[in-house]
C-alpha cells in the first residue's frame, strides 16, 4: 500500500519565515549543522529565500540538503550561492522504468542531468543515497557504485527503515549492509576510511578512485548511542527520534509568541530530556512501529 499524497492547507504548514525563525532558534541553542530535506525541499515556492536566510547564520557551520535531484539543474547554483556545502541525492535505481516505479513520479534523466549540474557547480560533497530492497533494486548495487566512481562522487547505502505501513513485514525486502559490503569487497579494493560527515555513516574508500561508500546501518550496526539529531516537519512537529513517535508541537508556540523566542527555546530544551534512547525497529513486524512515512520527517 503506497503512501497517499495529501497536501496540507497553507495554515497547517510553517511559513518560510517561521522555518527560518526556528532554525535561528536552534542555532542560538548550539546547533551547528542543519540539513534541509523533504519530501522534496526544492519544490517549495521561494525555497531560495529560506536557504539564503539560513546561509547568513554565522554560527551555523554546515548547511546541507537532501533532494531527489529533480530540481538541481535549475537550483544547484542557488544552493551554492546560499552557502550549501554538501548535497545528498536519493537515487535507488539507474533504470528509468524501475526508477519511475520506485519514486512513483521520478524522471531519471532529469535527475541525472541535475547530478551533472551539481557536479559542474562544485560542492564540498555530493553523495547518492540508496536504499537497497531485495527483489527490487539489489541487482544494481555494482552499477550504482560504478556510476558514483565514474562521476567522482560518493554513495551511501541505507538499510531500509520500517517507517509507514506497506502492508508487509520488511524482512523479506531487507538487505543488510554487511551483505552489501561483502559483495562490493569481492568487486572493488575497499579500504576502511576515517571519513566522517557528522552523520551515522561508516565509510570505506575505493582505492584509486575519488569515491567513498557510506553504510548507514540502523539494523546491522545500530548507531543510536551517539545520536545528536532531531527533525522538524513542515508542520512544526519536533520529532526527537526518527524511529519513535515522540514529538513536540512547536507551531502553536511560534504563533502564540511571534516576538518572543524564549518559550520555544524552553520547549526545545525540555524536549531533550525525553529524547528516546533509540529506535524499536522490528523488520519482522507486519505492522510498523512507526506509522508515518519517511517523507513526513525526511531521513
* Site for ligand SF4, rule CB under 6 A: 200, 223-224, 227, 229, 241-243, 278-279
**Cell numbers 534523466 correspond to what residue?**
109
Distance in Å, CB of 239 to ligand SF4, minimum: 8
Kindly tell me which of 173 and 297 has the beta carbon lying closer to ligand SF4.
Answer: 297
Residue with smaller CB distance to ligand SF4, 241 or 250: 241
> Are the C-beta atoms of 134 and 173 separated by less than 8 Å?
yes
CB nearer ligand SF4, residue 200 or residue 288: 200
Measured CA to CA, the distance from residue 130 to residue 213 in angstroms comes to 11
Residues 205, 210, 211: CA angle, nearest 5 degrees: 50
Q: Which is nearer to ligand SF4, 49 or 223 (CB)?
A: 223
CA-CA distance, 277 to 226, in Å (whole number)?
10
- Name the minimum Å distance from CB 161 to ligand SF4: 8
Q: Please report which helix (H) or strand (E) contains residue 49, including its range.
A: helix 47-55
Report how far Cα 288 is from the mean position of its chain's Cα atoms.
20
Q: What is the dihedral of CA 239, 55, 66, 210, to 10 degrees?
A: -130
CB of 184 to ligand SF4, least distance (A): 24
Provide the minimum distance between the beta carbon of 277 and ligand SF4 in the complex, in angstroms, as a whole number: 7
Question: Minimum CB separation from ligand SF4 for residue 274, in Å?
Answer: 12
CA–CA distance, 84 with 51 (Å, rounded to integer): 8
**Residue 26 phi, psi dihedral angles, 5° rounding:** -60, -40
**Which CB atom, from 202 or from 279, has the smaller least distance to ligand SF4?**
279
- Supply the minimum distance, in Å, between the C-beta of residue 196 and ligand SF4: 15
Query: Cβ 1 to ligand SF4, closest distance in Å?
Result: 23
* Nearest residue to ligand SF4, by Cβ distance, number only: 227
Q: Confirm if 125 and 197 have CB atoms less than 8 A apart.
A: yes
Dist. CA 274–CA 256, nearest whole Å? 23
Task: Please identify, using beta-carbon distances, which residue of 38 and 200 lies nearer to ligand SF4.
Answer: 200
Element (H, E) at 266: helix 262-272
Nearer to ligand SF4, 52 or 282 (CB): 282
| Alpha helices (H) along 135-198 | 141-151, 177-185
Q: What angle do CA 253, 265, 246 make, to 5 degrees?
A: 70
Amino acid at each position: 500500500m503506497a503512501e497517499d499524497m495529501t497536501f496540507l492547507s497553507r495554515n497547517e504548514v510553517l511559513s518560510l519565515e517561521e522555518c527560518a525563525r526556528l532554525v535561528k532558534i536552534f542555532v542560538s541553542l548550539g546547533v551547528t549543522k542543519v540539513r534541509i530535506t523533504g519530501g522534496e525541499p526544492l519544490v517549495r515556492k521561494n525555497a531560495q529565500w529560506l536557504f539564503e536566510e539560513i546561509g547568513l547564520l554565522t554560527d551555523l557551520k554546515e548547511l546541507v540538503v537532501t533532494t531527489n535531484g529533480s530540481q538541481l539543474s535549475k537550483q544547484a547554483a542557488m544552493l551554492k550561492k546560499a552557502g550549501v556545502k554538501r548535497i545528498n541525492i536519493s537515487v535507488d535505481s539507474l533504470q528509468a522504468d524501475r526508477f519511475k516505479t520506485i519514486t512513483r513520479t521520478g524522471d531519471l534523466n532529469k535527475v541525472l542531468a541535475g547530478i551533472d549540474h551539481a557536479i559542474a557547480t562544485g560542492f564540498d560533497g555530493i553523495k547518492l543515497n540508496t536504499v537497497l530492497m531485495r527483489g527490487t533494486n539489489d541487482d544494481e548495487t555494482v552499477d550504482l557504485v560504478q556510476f558514483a566512481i565514474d562521476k567522482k562522487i560518493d554513495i551511501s547505502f541505507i538499510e531500509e527503515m520500517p517507517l509507514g505501513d506497506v502492508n508487509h513485514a520488511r524482512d523479506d525486502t531487507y538487505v543488510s549492509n554487511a551483505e552489501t559490503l561483502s559483495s562490493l569487497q569481492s568487486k572493488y579494493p575497499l579500504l576502511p576510511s576515517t571519513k566522517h560527515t557528522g552523520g551515522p555513516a561508516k565509510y570505506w574508500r575505493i582505492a584509486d578512485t575519488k569515491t567513498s561508500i557510506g553504510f548507514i546501518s540502523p539494523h546491522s550496526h545500530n548507531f543510536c548511542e551517539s545520536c545528536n539529531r532531531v527533525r522538524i516537519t513542515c508542520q512544526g512537529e519536533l520529532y526527537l527520534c526518527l524511529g519513535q513517535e515522540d514529538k513536540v508541537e512547536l507551531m502553536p508556540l511560534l504563533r502564540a509568541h511571534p516576538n518572543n523566542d524564549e518559550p520555544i527555546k524552553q520547549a526545545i530544551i525540555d524536549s531533550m530530556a525525553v529524547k528516546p534512547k533509540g529506535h524499536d525497529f522490528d523488520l519482522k513486524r507486519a505492522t510498523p512501529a512507526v506509522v508515518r512515512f519517511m517523507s513526513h520527517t525526511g531521513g
